[in-house]
Structure 1
């Protein structure tokens, strides 16, 4: 999106959604007895792919 001066602005909702997904993945990982912090950090890089990996991971 461009402002009045023609400079590109970032859409912050994308970053908020990605961060929210990472928090959800951390909670999901904790429910499967896995390290929430590791999965949170992994989710920041992999996003929805980490969610699918967690959905099919077996509970420890």
Structure 2
């Protein structure tokens, strides 16, 4: 077994997980939350982060 076949078998999984993290970052920004923070959390939590984002309310922006 070579290393390339091992990596290639997991490539779609990594691409899907990374795409989900990007979607979660955009969703977080739409709710006035940190896109970078949620991107990183999504890399760790995956679909659970999506569920949390959907359930969390939108943060009100502060008016100065």
TM-score by length of 1: 0.86
CA distance in 1, matches of 2:45, 2:6: 24
How many correspondences in the alignment?
A: 55
Partner of 2:6: 9
Within 5 A, what are the aligned runs for 1:3-42? Answer: 6-7=1-2, 9-10=6-7, 11=9, 12-42=11-41
Q: What 5-or-longer segments of structure 2 have no aligned partner?
A: 60-64
Partner of 1:54: 53
Q: Which runs of 4+ in 1 moved over 2 A?
A: none
Q: What 5-or-longer segments of structure 1 have no aligned partner?
A: 1-5
Partner of 1:3: none
More helix by share: 2
CA distance in 2, matches of 1:57, 1:28: 11
TM-score by length of 2: 0.81
